[in-house]
Structure 1
Amino acid sequence: MLFQFGLTVIIFIGVFLYYSIKLNDIGDVDNVTASKTNFKDIVLVKDTLVEAPDKLKAENFESKVDNREFKNKTSPIGEKYVKSDVEVTGPKINPNKNNFSDIGKKLEVQNLQPMKDHGDTNMRKKDVTQVQKKYPIHLAVVACGERLDDTMVLLKSALLFTSSPLMFHIFAENSLLSKFEEQINLWPETTRKKNGYHIYNLSFPNGDQKEWQSLFKPCASQRLFLPTLLSDVDALIYVDTDVLFLRSLDDLWHFFGKFNSTQLVALSPESEDSATGWYNRFSRHPFYGELGVNSGVMLMNLTRLRTSDWMESMLKFYKDFKLKITWGDQDLINIYFYYNPDQLYVYSCEWNFRPDHCMYGSVCKEAEVEGISVLHGSRGVWHSEKEPAFKAFHFVIKEFAIGYGDMKDLVKKLEREITKTKYTQCGKLSKLFTKQIERIANTTNNL
């Protein structure tokens, strides 16, 4: 009995000493961390400053606290960025929780900081509502591979026909980042002062990055993750790199004001003709409506998307249907709106006019009335002889100089080049290509 009592006392004393030492150790660690942490030892993760990993310590950082600017820093994903708005205080969080979690859990992703940044960065903090645009129109594009030139022509078309300030969000692979900045710096000074841009590296869910990046067109699936990547942007227009604007983005932005209380996204139909439609004839997965929708021109209310199950659904649908999808992220978008049709606003084909709308005759009736508002050069028509009218239009916009041209002169060049293609079905509709630009030419002269 005495032996058992003594053994119990020894065990009790051992446990007491263990926890006493453990608590002291924790206190010592907190004190050391508090004394050593400074602006040279922190990084920005989801708008919160956290202690940097050892390899990112003070020797790699240069801080300027007075103007809230950190230069030559390394972001939490290991990429450099030039400028960002940061708070100088804030609670610490676990930097390992800034990536996508498993399906079924709340998805989180790092709030990206631009790697290259130009313009009033505070404009990103002033949200635009879906009803009234008070600040710059946000336009997002994703470019990989040989898409630099096409993207620059796309951005030029937006600048040529839009009077409101624009904020470009350009996602690109590493090899293109500096090239985009070089090209943008060639724009006239007045254009660069009026508009802004952010350039980001690509970011995909951990573990499946290669799959997502190679899904259909290179990197196009990046658009699926914009709601969490751009967590301080309220709404934006996403477009493929093979798109050209023939009309002010103000008019396209206007559709946000037509959303009802449940709608998150606006898209145009994939087809107007069931006899030639892809989804109704060949699809092996669910799709929206009778003919599906095309994702090349996409209005995204990011605020609403962030509160929906959009992100979780995309990962789930990819897992369930990846062996049955043909058009990558567009198919996943169609599957989503098949199950959530009340969340989609559909606008007409004039805002996403593709070769399918004219190659066998005119099938976009809205364009016959209003003219083409957005030209989508799908199927590689910018650089082939498949549809000469599309190629001619792209060539004229590419060669036209921002800030040094006359709108009426641009219309004449477009009419002259497209008229040469009247031996094709699309060329016969040449007036549709220039109708909106002629309207702009009647109200302004210089570009």
Structure 2
Amino acid sequence: MPRCAAIYLRNAFITSEHKGMKSRLSPKALVCLCIGVIVASFFITNAPRLHICIGQKCHQNDSVPLRGAQVSAVHSTWAPGSESEAITLVFVVCGTQAELALVAIKSAIAYSTSPLHLIILADKQNEAQLKKQVESWPSSIKKRVHAQLKPVPPPTDPDRALEECASQQLYLPSMLPDIDAMLYVGTGIVFVHPVEDIWRMFYSMNDQEMVGMAPETESINRNLYLKSLQPFVEPFGVNSHLLLMNLTRMRAFEFERRLNETTLELTNVTISEVEDALNIIFARNPEAIFTFTCRWNYRAEHCYKDVLCTDAPVAAVHGAYDEFMYRNPAFMALHQSMQQYELGNSLLQGFIEPLKKNLAQQHWDGCHVQFVRHLEYWRLSAHRVDMVSNRTSPLQGPAN
């Protein structure tokens, strides 16, 4: 290539001393020029780009190259979903939420193959039950999953405007000073898709975004914030039950100071103090929030025509206590199937097949129709996890 470049420059740009005109390109120079263009095009086309995997599809994001500033958003050597880096998930368990929390934790472990670091903040009434369950996990799970049980700080801190147990998720930047990034998981979440895919969304954040959240609803008509006078993240508000949190950036942003100032404005609660506060903060700082779609926050309202979640397949189902326990038959079938699943076993045989049977026994409604529609996608995700985990998982005909 240096020889080709020299020939090209000599023939193209050196002026003839005798004729006062530029020399014509020789055939040899033309060949070298063509080769140079082809080689340059190859390197430009194949330059490293970030691949963002969401669901079963991977997309190239040309606007987010792999540069130092982007990687440092989480950790200087951080690679999401890599074998050497654990995915950090945080759960806050309060009051009567232990049963829901155990299913949420189980689903995250079941639908993952990467090392997990679980931080479980629990009040006193739930500590013993959670500890017993963690100790009962099979050895194969304990090798991959490191769980820490921590007590919820007592409600005596004068620096905290919100002291309820359920509000602790807002104080995680100071409670976990050694953690760079984490996924907060509410107790009403059941994963039906690998958690690695939502963890990879940290790579889609730009240099200012620090928290990832899903919309509160998909319908203007159901947006309660339109009826209140407080600011909210437009157009639908944001939901607080599944959060990608870059704690390093949140600390630099002085998030907790801003939170305490914001809570002074909460004269009337629209949805919850936690959610209202987050909406106010990020409505005023829209550059700091990253939004992901309803497929990671699938709720009962998404089962019906005016609020259908069109971004499929569903990856995380979000239900309240009464929906999982007695109000919504399809949600009950999902919760019971994951509750009965035994960690370490095949997801296809231990979760998907029982779910299929449980759904067949339930009353048909909007959520039942949607769950049956998504069952084949969930089955493929389960098979994918089973294969990577070397679990017994024969993939036979489609789910009917």
TM-score of the superposed pair, with normalisation by structure 2: 0.73
1 CA distance for matches of 2:392 and 2:163?
40
Tell me, in whole angstroms, the C-alpha distance in 2 between the residues paired with 1:292 and 1:362. 14
Q: Is the 8 A contact 2:111 2:382 kept in 1?
A: no
Q: CA deviation at 1:129?
A: 6.2
Q: How do 1:94-173 residues align onto structure 2 when only pairs under 5 Å count?
A: 132-134=80-82, 135-173=85-123
What residue is the counterpart of 1:261 in the other structure? 207
Partner of 1:81: none
Quick one: distance in 2 between partners of 1:381 and 1:228?
Answer: 33
C-alpha separation between the residues in 1 aligned to 2:113 and 2:187? Answer: 21
Specify which of 357, 364, 367 is matched with residue 302 of structure 2: 357
Residue 140 of structure 2 is matched in structure 1 by 190
1:292 to partner: Cα distance? 0.4
Code of the aligned partner of 1:375: V
Q: C-alpha deviations, 1:286-329, integer Å up to 9, x for none?
A: 11112101111110011111100311111001112244554110
Deviation at 1:158, TM superposition (A): 0.8
CA contact 2:188–2:318 (8 Å) conserved in 1: yes
Given that 1:170 and 1:198 are in contact with CA atoms closer than 8 Å, whether structure 2 keeps it comes out as yes
Q: CA RMSD in A?
A: 2.2
The 5 A counterparts of 1:319-398 are 319-359=264-304, 363-367=308-312, 371-378=313-320, 380-385=322-327, 387-398=328-339
The answer for the alignment partner of 2:247 in structure 1 is 302
Deviations along 1:368-387, one digit per CA (max 9) or x if unpaired, are xxx210000136311122x1
Supply the distance in 2 between the matched residues of 1:324 and 1:191 (Cα, whole angstroms).
41
4+ residue runs of structure 1 moved beyond 3 angstroms? 126-134, 322-326, 359-362, 419-422
Change (3 A) 1:406 1:277: closer
Change (3 A) 1:152 1:324: closer
Instruction: Specify which of 276, 288, 296 is matched with residue 222 of structure 2.
Output: 276
Residue 362 of structure 2 is matched in structure 1 by 421
Partner in structure 2 of residue 206 of structure 1: 157
Structure 1 position 428, deviation (Å): 1.1
Counterpart of 1:150, as a letter, is L
- CA distance in structure 2 between the partners assigned to 1:128 and 1:151 by the alignment: 32
- The answer on whether the counterparts of 1:284 and 1:324 sit within 8 Å (CA) in structure 2 is no
Decide whether the 8 Å contact of 2:225 with 2:270 is kept in 1: no
Contact 1:157 1:244 in 2 (8 A): yes
**Equivalent residue letter for 1:188:** P
| Residue 180 (str. 1) matches residue 121 (str. 2) | no
Q: Among the aligned pairs, what percent are the same residue?
A: 27
| Superimposed CA distance per residue, residues 109-131 of structure 1 (whole angstroms, 9 cap, x where no aligned partner) | xxxxxxxxxxxxxxxxx957676
Counterpart Cα distance in 2 of 1:146 and 1:440: 31
1:220 corresponding residue in structure 2: 166
1:446 deviation in Å? 3.4
User: Secondary structure of the residue that 2:184 maps to in structure 1?
Assistant: strand
Report the secondary structure of 1:403's partner residue. coil
Normalising to structure 1: TM-score of the pair? 0.66
Secondary structure in 2 matching 1:153: helix
Any idea what SS the aligned residue of 1:251 has? helix
Distance in 2 (CA, whole Å) between partners of 1:442 and 1:324 is 43
- Tell me how far apart the structure 1 counterparts of residues 380 and 236 of structure 2 sit (CA, whole Å): 32
Moved more, 430-439 or 127-136: 127-136
Q: How far did residue 407 of structure 1 move?
A: 2.0
Q: Please give the alpha-carbon distance, in whole angstroms, between the structure 1 residues aligned to 2:336 and 2:306.
A: 23
In 2, Cα distance between the equivalents of 1:166 and 1:435?
27
Does structure 1 retain, via aligned residues, the 8 Å contact 2:122–2:149?
yes
Mark the runs of 5 or more structure 2 residues left unpaired by the alignment: 1-73, 394-400
Paired with 1:436 and 1:185, the residues of 2 have a C-alpha distance of: 32
Structure with the bigger RCO (C-alpha within 8 Å, sep 6+) is 2
1:221 counterpart SS class: helix
Aligned to 1:32: none
Aligned residue number for residue 245 of structure 1: 191
How many pairs were matched up? 312
Q: Distance in 1 between matches of 2:77 and 2:278?
A: 23
Q: After the TM superposition, which of the residue ranges 409-418 and 150-159 deviates more from structure 2?
A: 409-418
- For residues 335-371 of structure 1, the C-alpha deviation after alignment (integer angstroms, 9 at most, x for no partner) is 000100010011110011011111456610002xxx2
Deviation at 1:193, TM superposition (A): 2.0
